[in-house]
């Protein structure tokens, strides 16, 4: 663990890194682009912006420091559980300039509060700066959500995209027990507690499925619809990205496929999706190439690990447990390193494809 002083410096740097990324992403957009709703699946960008500040204020100024709310009438507006994304454009949202000023105000107070706070290792919220980590990761995760919005709307951004991968071979992972999850650092409740899992032998592809391979699946009639963003161009395909259309990059991992599509691809290839445990075991052995380019759908439903305890609030993970959601692993090109750890668990409905999600295949040994 970092020493207390080093830890505070680390937190300040992580907060600043996230904020720089948020502001750079939204800087080129007009107020109109920030305020309008680009897709019913996504919030107006200005909602995400103010919600980032609201979450930070709620946890670091109000819960931790007992401060009064800055905009008491907005509490309900920025509570993600009060209104669906579809409803959010009709709410009384802070305008972009007010939202930016609000974020700056909250941040200034937070940095002051951090200086005065003792990061007591015996306090669950403060130990390892956990609650500050919660806020940093929340902002980084919303940046990825906002990038999804930009992708859906065709608005430009310069945040990059997936890098090409080398189509690999299958790797055998021998049967045996491994330690799944973690009890350390800023890991979320759903990654805890670490526990031993017995995994039978399996084979897993060393690389995620590429666009070329996925196009073969479409051409073969394996699925009627191409991934989100693909357009027919003669015998080939183009792909819309960063607001412009370009030929599909053959060696990039396929993205914007739903769980159903990923599952159908794996079956077509004579394989299956890996379970979460298989994915994490293979990742912890270092046999997976190309992780962190696209989220990888797994065959697993989202569930709590044995001994799961909701912390610090049920609505982060527990309310989503069950067979409605499938787990994704690995992080995408839009996922910040602070979030993209081997134990991190993402989840979504199996029909969704606005996320930067692809797959890699596995099979029984
Ligand atoms: Fe949020």
Neighbours of 43 (CB within 10 A): 27
Cα 61 to ligand 1 centroid, rounded to whole Å: 17
pLDDT confidence of residue 82: 86
Cα 109 to ligand 1 centroid, rounded to whole Å: 20
**Residue ranges in 72-226 assigned as alpha helix (H):** 96-116, 130-153, 211-219
Cα 142 to ligand 1 centroid, rounded to whole Å: 6
Rounded Cα distance, 254 and 359, in Å: 8
Rounded Cα distance, 166 and 210, in Å: 9
pLDDT confidence of residue 324: 98
pLDDT confidence of residue 83: 87
Chain-centroid distance of CA 58 in Å reads: 21
pLDDT confidence of residue 89: 85
Cα 304 to ligand 1 centroid, rounded to whole Å: 20
Rounded Cα distance, 340 and 299, in Å: 19
Q: Is the dihedral of CA 208, 212, 215, 220 positive or negative?
A: negative
Cα 318 to ligand 1 centroid, rounded to whole Å: 15
Cα 137 to ligand 1 centroid, rounded to whole Å: 10
pLDDT confidence of residue 364: 98
Cα 52 to ligand 1 centroid, rounded to whole Å: 7
Cα 80 to ligand 1 centroid, rounded to whole Å: 6
Rounded Cα distance, 261 and 128, in Å: 40
pLDDT confidence of residue 304: 98
Q: Phi/psi zone of residue 307: left (φ > 0), alpha (ψ -120 to 50 degrees), beta? A: left
Which residues are within 8 A (CB) of 21 and not within 5 positions of it... i.e. 6 or more apart? 140, 143, 336
Cα 134 to ligand 1 centroid, rounded to whole Å: 11
pLDDT confidence of residue 128: 96
pLDDT confidence of residue 5: 60
Cα 81 to ligand 1 centroid, rounded to whole Å: 9
Cα 83 to ligand 1 centroid, rounded to whole Å: 12
Cα 82 to ligand 1 centroid, rounded to whole Å: 12
Cα 181 to ligand 1 centroid, rounded to whole Å: 23
Cα 290 to ligand 1 centroid, rounded to whole Å: 28
Cα 122 to ligand 1 centroid, rounded to whole Å: 27
Cα 140 to ligand 1 centroid, rounded to whole Å: 10
Rounded Cα distance, 175 and 56, in Å: 44
Cα 244 to ligand 1 centroid, rounded to whole Å: 29
Cα 316 to ligand 1 centroid, rounded to whole Å: 9
Which portions of the chain are predicted below pLDDT 70?
1-5
Cα 359 to ligand 1 centroid, rounded to whole Å: 25
pLDDT confidence of residue 328: 98
Q: How far apart are the first and last CA of the chain?
A: 39
């Amino acid at each position: 663990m970092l020493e207390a002083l080093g830890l505070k410096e680390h937190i300040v740097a992580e907060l600043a890194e996230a904020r720089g990324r948020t502001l750079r992403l939204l800087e080129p957009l007009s107020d109109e682009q920030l305020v309008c709703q680009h897709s019913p699946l996504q919030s107006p960008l200005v909602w995400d912006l103010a919600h980032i500040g609201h979450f930070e204020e709620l946890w670091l100024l109000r819960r931790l420091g007992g401060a009064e709310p800055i905009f008491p009438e907005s509490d309900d507006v920025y509570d993600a559980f009060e209104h669906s994304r579809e409803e959010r454009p009709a709410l009384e949202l802070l305008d972009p300039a007010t939202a930016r000023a609000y974020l700056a105000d909250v941040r200034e107070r937070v940095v002051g509060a951090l200086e005065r706070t003792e990061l007591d290792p015996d306090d669950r919220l403060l130990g390892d700066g956990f609650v500050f980590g919660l806020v940093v990761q929340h902002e980084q995760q919303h940046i990825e959500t906002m990038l999804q919005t930009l992708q859906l709307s065709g608005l430009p951004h310069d945040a990059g995209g997936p890098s090409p991968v080398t189509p690999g071979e299958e790797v055998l992972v021998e049967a045996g027990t491994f330690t799944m999850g973690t009890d350390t650092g800023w890991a979320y409740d759903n990654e805890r507690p670490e526990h031993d899992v017995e995994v039978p032998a399996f084979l897993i592809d060393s690389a995620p499925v590429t666009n070329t391979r996925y196009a073969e699946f479409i051409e073969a009639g394996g699925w009627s619809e191409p991934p989100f963003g693909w357009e027919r161009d003669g015998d080939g395909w183009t792909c819309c990205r960063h607001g412009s259309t370009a030929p599909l990059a053959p060696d990039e991992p396929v993205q914007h496929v739903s769980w159903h599509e990923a599952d159908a691809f794996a079956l077509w290839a004579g394989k299956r999706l890996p379970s979460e445990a298989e994915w994490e075991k293979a990742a912890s052995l270092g046999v997976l190439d190309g992780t962190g380019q696209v989220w990888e759908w797994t065959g697993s439903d989202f569930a709590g690990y044995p001994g799961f305890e909701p912390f610090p609030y049920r609505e982060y993970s527990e309310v989503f447990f069950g067979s409605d959601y499938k787990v994704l692993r690995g992080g995408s090109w839009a996922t910040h390193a602070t979030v993209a750890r081997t134990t991190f668990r993402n989840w979504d409905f199996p029909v969704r494809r606005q996320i930067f999600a692809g797959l890699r295949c596995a099979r029984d040994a």
